[in-house]
Structure formats: C-alpha cells, structure tokens
Structure 1
C-alpha cells in the first residue's frame, strides 16, 4: 500500500462556506478550540450515513472539530497517515484522560453519556508507560492461554444451540437472536461465570456503546457484574481467564482485576456482535459475496476484512489527549484536548492508493501501536465460526427487507445495526448442540467444563447453569429502555434464554 505525497497538503485548507467545521478552523473564531458547531457524531442522521459525514469533515482537512454528544467537543482524525502518526506517538499524546481539559474545567457533566467510554478507568486502555505495560501483560498472557481450536468448537456448539431455536420458524432477527447472543455465551464460558448471571450482559454493553441516557447506569451495572464474577472465581478457580488473571505474577489488586475484566468484556461483546452482524449483512446484500456463500470459508474471511475496512464495529475511538499545546496538521491543539481517530474514515481515506483490499489487513480496525487490540485472533475466530456455521445450517437465508431500509443505532463510537431480519426455508432437523464439553471427555484447554444436561429424545439438552453461593443475587426487573431496537433485541434474547 502506498500513499500520495500530497496527503498533508490540505492540512490547513479553509473549509468551504456552510461546512459545520468552518467556525472551528484555526483561522476563524477562537483559534485552536473545537467549536460548538463541530459536526455531530450522534443522532439518526449520522447513524444512517456516517461516511457522508466523514466526507464533509475531509473538506476541512485530515483533522476536524466534532461533537461527541451535545456540548462534548473533540477533534476527529479522518486521514490514514495522520492516524498512524498520532496512534504511534506516545510522547505528544496520552491515553490517560485525567488531563482532559474540559472535564477538569467542569465543562463535562458527571452524567455525560460519553463519559463511560472516555473517563479514566484503572485498566490497560486508559494508562500509559509502565502502568500500561503491567496491566496489558496480565491481559495478553491470559488470552494467549486460550486454545483456538477449543474456542472454535465452543463457538460452533453455541451457534448450533441458537440456530436450533429459530430454524423451524423460517424467519429470525439475526441481531437479537444470534449475533448478540454468541459473544455472551462465549465470554461467560471463557470467564468461567455461570450462564444465568450473564442474562443482562448484552443489554448492559448495548447501553454503554449507545452512549445514551442509560450509559451511566449501565456502567455501574457492569462493575457490579464483574465484582460478582471475581468473588465467584476466588472461591472456585478454574481453567478460565478470570482465574488466570487472579494468579498472574502482576498481582492485580481487586479494583485492577475488575477493571481489566470489564475492559475485556466491553471489547469482546458489543464490538464482536457488530462485527458478526455487519459481516452477515455484507454477505447477504453485496453481489460480490452473495453468489458465493456456498464456496467455503474464503468469502466469509473476505467479508470480515471488508467490514473491518469500511464499517468497523468500533468506528470512532482511539482517544488521545494532547500532552501540551501543539500544532497537528495545521490545527492548533491545546493541552488536554481529546483527539479521536475515525477508523472507518481513515480506512477509506481517498489519499490511500491500492490495487484492492482482498487479503489486505492493513486497516486500523484493531488500532495500532502500544494500544493495538490484543484479542484480534480470538475475535476473528469467534466471528468467522459464527458466520460460517449460520450459512452452513441455513444456506438459503436472505434479508427480509432491502438493505437500505435497515436502521442503525445512533452513537458516536460504534457502527451497529438495530436489527437484521432474515427469512429462510423452514428446517426441522435439530443439531445436537449442548454448550457443555462433550460427554466423558475433559474440557479442552482454555475452555472450562460445565455440567452436562440430561438426555432427551436421544439428544443432549443444553447444560443447566452452574449455581454458586458467591454469585450475585438475581436482579430485579427493570423498566424497558426507551430505545425500541435495544428492547426488541434484549427481549428476544431473554425469551430464548428462559426457554420461552
């Protein structure tokens, strides 16, 4: 891949009249301060067509002022080369948000909907230097103990369990009934937590990434969930990520452990379900893939890479904070001002020149530099196996509505469908799909074993969840979210989980 030599030439160009970024240009208004007129990265218009917004921002230059939520200002990088520069530069830019100028000046309310995604947590994502290396080491060392073959087998069994639930209906919402449930089943197993205590996990993650009015409450729910998990594994350690991190030489404190596990869970559920759903949408709607669904794994891998290039699940993130006042691509940035990278915009930067993306994985969807996602390999395994299993079981599946009529969830950080309705010929043959390890065999390395379910009609039913005296009590029912898509997604999954 090569870049045109003039990639920085437009860095200081004045945006055209009418551009929302005009008032924030260093030559207009208050120099170096993001303007309130920065282009919003929230609301239905942005969710419906984010790439149109990125194109408007590019008219400003490789970096432009934006609003993440009302009154929360930042800069967004849309240039691939500038993204590489900033994401790799630990001298001028910090991950630690405790120097966030607007927050320290009281201009970010404590209940800001984007706060849970940007404010400091004592985890590897929000630390720099030695603290980051220590915390990240506990994560990477534990993830490397996962057996990819055992992980693949567990995802396949989980997928069969879910498909069995709707295969005889001839229709399904692949978001709520499949893509949202796969990460929950997998991560509950990898963390060694009884399945019933993960009932609300997908809903928690959805509220966090939507960055709506429920985000702060969801943040506390996640902390409570993880505290219960840690208490369970201290009492009953096993071959799981939680137990491995508890025993790691870094000797994580209770809060450190809680924060690292929350980070892994947040990064492994909502983005994972969006990767699965977005790739399924591409396979079912794009002529480049739709005619080759029965051709093996190559089209699926290509679709995953295409999504990671054009519609990555975490579209705008990689937050950095300027360590001092500086000039960046012709824009004056003040100390403590946030700079986000649009992975989606940088990956589709017109300044990139390439003969094609087939087989090319130089995209920024996993970020780059010291904070590159450490879970790329298991994430690809989970997504590819889930997609391939669905297409193998339902080869004639098709979208129930035209692709352009599908709704996308609003929010500044993710690229997330609201639903993915499909139809397919009814199939009545169920596949044995107990989510526990096979009978009379030890659990594969890296995958903890759960008790096996009873026999029923010659098939083994899914295992009963493990109960634990140190697990948190059942949570009281709550008022459904005002977000209709989120309510439908969670309601469908909850009904499945309860056997309804």
Structure 2
C-alpha cells in the first residue's frame, strides 16, 4: 500500500512531521557516542518518523520504523532519490552537500535514467572475481600486519584497515596508487563535511585522469568496463559512477571491518576460550550488518509533493533519511532482537531500486571476512588497548565510524612473504 497524497490541512489524526516533537541533531558528538539509546528514545517519544537535522539548520525526517522504511524505499514515484529541487534551497558551499547533492549516477537518479546508470555499474562489478579477490586481500594484509606485529601494539584503523581497503579497492577498480591516494583523500573529506567545491575538484581531477588512463591502457577492472560499456557514459557520468564506487567502497567498507573487529574484541562470544576453534568473522559481520550497519542513516529520498505516511505529513522537497540501524532493530521485527544468520529482513544493504548491488555486497563481505581472518590468524591474542567504553566515535549524521581502534597483543615475528 503506497502513501497517499497529503491533505493540506491538519487534523487530529494527521499532523506535520515537524510538530511531532523537537528536531534532534544527528551530527552531534552525543548522538555519535550512543545512537542506539537515542533511537530507543526516538521510538518511545516520536514513533516511526522523527524530525531531525542532518546539519545545523538543515531539516530532514528520519525513518526508524522498518515497515515504513520498506514502503518508502519501494515507492520511487512518491519518494524519488533526485535532490535537485531541495538542493536549490541549500547554500552551495554547505559541507553536507558532497554526501547528498545531485550527481548523474544511479544513486541520485530515478526511472530509466537510474536503470541506465545502474546497469553500467552492475555489469562493471560483475567482472570482479571473488576467488582472486581473496588472494589480493592476503597479499595486501600480510605486509601491513608485518609492519606492526613486532611492536605488540597497533592502531588498527590507520595501520591496517584503511590502507588495506584503499589498496584492494584500487585493485578492483584498476586505479594506480598515486591516483587512488587523491581519491581516498577526497572521499574522506566528503564524509567529514569538507566544502563541496574542494571535494568535487579533488574527485573530478583524479577520476578524469583514471578515465583517460583506461581509454589508452585498458585492463581487467571496473573502471575499464565502465569506460567500454554499451551505455556509452560520457566523462561526467563516468566520473560520477566511479564516485559511487569509491564512496561506497572506502568509508563504509572500513567501518564494517573496524566495527566487526570491535564486536569480536569486546563480546565474550568471540573470545578464544569460549570457542572450540579460532573465532570466525562471518557471524560477527552478519550481526554488525543486521544490528549496527556502518552506513547507519542514508538511502535519502525527496518527496516532490507533501505526502501523508503513518499519520504524519512530510513536506515537499525535504530529505527523508532511512535509519538502517534503527529500522533493523525495530521491536516490530523479531521483537527488535537479532536472532543470527544475517537477519534477511535487515536493511544493512538498503532496499528497493537503490539497494546495494549484489556483486558489491558479495565483494564487500569477502574483503571484510578475509581481512579479519588474516589479522586474527596472526594475532589471535589481540585485545583492546583501552576500555571499550573509552573508544571514540566520529560524529556525523550518516556513518557509524570509530575514530580509532587501539589494540595490544604479544609481540609476534613477521610472516614470510612468498
């Protein structure tokens, strides 16, 4: 059942979403510290739709009810992902824009245009060989582990997770390290809210160089397959297809690995003395994706007209943000408790026409699993260097991201690199 066009008058049953309660800022350090408690309070005080701010002075509606989210994500005509009308009302220099502005890519398009972009990206990703990807992760992981294993301590995000994800994604896309370093810097700036002009200039320059390289030196990689695709994407479209790959492949990927490592290092279920064999990352990865996904609040849509859903009137051309984290913990679904084995109904990968492509899901899971297994195999006695409650989370409306993951372990000789 689709939402109905809103009556433009308030009734006892229907009220504007902004009158449900005070807007809650999603960008504050307090929210980043304990978002799940905030989601519980939202559910108690607001219901499935919550008026929020995604940046100071920028209102949005956060969807925390699972069934409501699925309805919205499956209703592209009423909830399109194209932000251009909303964007006209936003300061073009706002640091929130790089994460939400219109781009000629599948994520920010609708209908036939979205299908064209998504088909090109899906076909390019389909050529990724998961078997060979395992070997790439291993080749990347071992030198990184060797660089700190003799020290007995490490900060895993900066010394292991970030460089591993960056290197493996560059391999998949066919991007030389010197170009990839500039893309990684721009991608980090995008999530941290650096001004739009700087981020876009950094991305455009680096990715255009990659596109030109693939035209003259094609390879067996995603960038080449995009350049050669029958959709005949022009340079701007190619840049933005690659922006999507990098934005989805760096920050969420490294957060998935880091957050899963945190779970395994802090939860007794994954401690070696409670297991007959070495702890396996797959169940932990599935649990993180189902209960605490690395991209916690996103899948943004922009209804072109006022619309009523769940007895609330959502305004036209204002962001509607899906909380994959809150929805996946909705008490209406399995009483809000994770029951294991991935929870097929969770929204960790999104849903609807903009759901993360299957091959991208498979690649992300494979990279994460292999990266954690390599680390745990070499350093099985690794533990947090500080109390779990002292770990810091990076503020931001969209991601669930640790600032650092310091660990200690018995000093270990480096592995031989064959």
| Alignment TM-score, normalising by the size of structure 1 | 0.77
- Check conservation: 1:36, 1:73, Cα contact below 8 A: no
SS of corresponding position for 2:72: helix
Deviations along 1:221-249, whole A, 9 cap, x unmatched? 12222111111111211111111111111
> Structure 1 pair 339/249, CA: closer, same or farther in 2 (3 Å)?
same
Deviates more, 1:255-264 or 1:331-340: 331-340
Q: Of 112, 128, 131, which aligns to 2:110?
A: 128
Asked if structure 2 preserves the Cα contact closer than 8 Å seen for 1:46 and 1:53, the reply is yes
SS in 2 for 1:302: helix
Give 1:337 shift: 1.9
Displacement of 1:290 in angstroms is 2.1
| 1:347 maps to which of 328, 345, 349 | 328
Q: What is the rounded CA distance, in whole Å, between the counterparts of 1:43 and 1:151 in structure 2?
A: 37
Q: Which has the larger radius of gyration?
A: 1
Out of 58, 71, 74, the residue aligned to residue 88 of structure 1 is 74
Q: Deviations over 1:49-96 (max 9, x none)?
A: 111221222121100100001001000000111111111111211011
Give the Å deviation of 1:41.
Answer: 0.1
Pairing 1:15-26 to 2, within 5 Å after superposition: none
User: Which residue pairs with 2:223 in the alignment?
Assistant: 242
Distance 1:51 1:83, change over 3 A: same
Offset of 1:289 from its aligned partner? 1.7
Counterpart Cα distance in 1 of 2:155 and 2:27: 25
Kept in 2, the 8 Å contact 1:174–1:421? The answer is: yes
**Where does 1:295-306 land on structure 2 (aligned, <5 Å)?**
299-306=280-287
Contact 1:31/1:332, CA 8 A, preserved across alignment: yes
1:414 maps to 399
- Where does 1:205-244 land on structure 2 (aligned, <5 Å)? 205-211=187-193, 213-214=194-195, 216-244=197-225
CA distance in 1, matches of 2:231, 2:162: 33
Output the TM-score relative to the length of structure 2: 0.91
Retained in 2: the 8 A contact 1:293–1:395? no
| 2:339 counterpart residue number | 357
Instruction: Measure, in 2, the Cα distance between the counterparts of 1:129 and 1:252.
Output: 17
Q: CA deviation at 1:294?
A: 6.9
Cα separation, 1, equivalents of 2:403 and 2:185: 13
Once the two structures are overlaid, the 10-residue window that deviates more, 178-187 or 417-426, is: 178-187
Equivalence for 1:69: 55
Task: Find out whether 1:398 has 2:379 as its counterpart.
Answer: no
Q: Secondary structure at the match of 1:93?
A: coil
Q: Is the 8 A contact 1:96 1:126 kept in 2?
A: yes
Residues paired across the two proteins, number: 403
**CA distance change for structure 1 residues 166 and 347 in 2, over 3 Å: closer, same or farther?**
same
Q: Distance in 2 between matches of 1:26 and 1:215?
A: 41
Task: Note if 1:38 corresponds to 2:9.
Answer: no
What CA distance in whole angstroms lies between the structure 2 residues aligned with 1:406 and 1:346? Answer: 25
The reply to whether residue 334 of structure 1 matches residue 320 of structure 2 is no
Which of 138, 160, 164 in structure 1 is aligned with 2:120? 138
Aligned to 1:152: 134
Confirm or deny that 1:273 pairs with 2:273.
Answer: no
Counterparts of residues 111-122 of structure 1 (less than 5 Å): 111-122=93-104
1:49 paired residue number: 34
Distance change >3 Å, CA 158–CA 34, structure 1 → 2: farther
- Alpha carbons 1:192, 1:242 under 8 Å: kept: yes
**Matches of 1:389 and 1:353, distance apart in 2:** 34
- SS where residue 147 of structure 2 aligns? helix
Q: CA deviation at 1:262?
A: 0.9
Alignment deviations for residues 336-367 of structure 1 (CA, whole Å, 9 cap, x no partner): 12111000000111222267421133210100
Structure 2: distance between partners of 1:257 and 1:151: 24
Cα distance in 1, alignment partners of residues 274 and 132 from structure 2: 25
The 3 A distance-change label for structure 1 pair 78 and 262 is same
Q: Post-superposition shift, 1:209?
A: 1.4
Instruction: Show structure 2 runs of 5+ residues with no match.
Output: 1-9
CA drift of 1:32 comes to 4.8
- Give the Cα separation in 2 of the matches to 1:43 and 1:296: 41
| Aligned partner of residue 357 in structure 1, secondary structure | coil
> Cα distance 1:382–1:310, how it changes in 2: closer, same or farther (>3 A)?
same
Residues 295/221 of structure 1: CA separation in 2 closer, same or farther (3 Å cut):
farther
The Cα shift of 1:26 comes to 8.5
User: Which structure is higher in helix share?
Assistant: 2
Q: Within 5 A, what are the aligned runs for 1:342-491?
A: 342-353=323-334, 356-359=338-341, 360-374=343-357, 375-432=360-417
- Matched-pair contact (CA < 8 Å) for 1:64–1:75: yes
The higher relative CO (CA closer than 8 Å, separation ≥ 6) is in 2
CA distance in 2, matches of 1:115, 1:245: 25
Question: 1:36: how far off?
Answer: 10
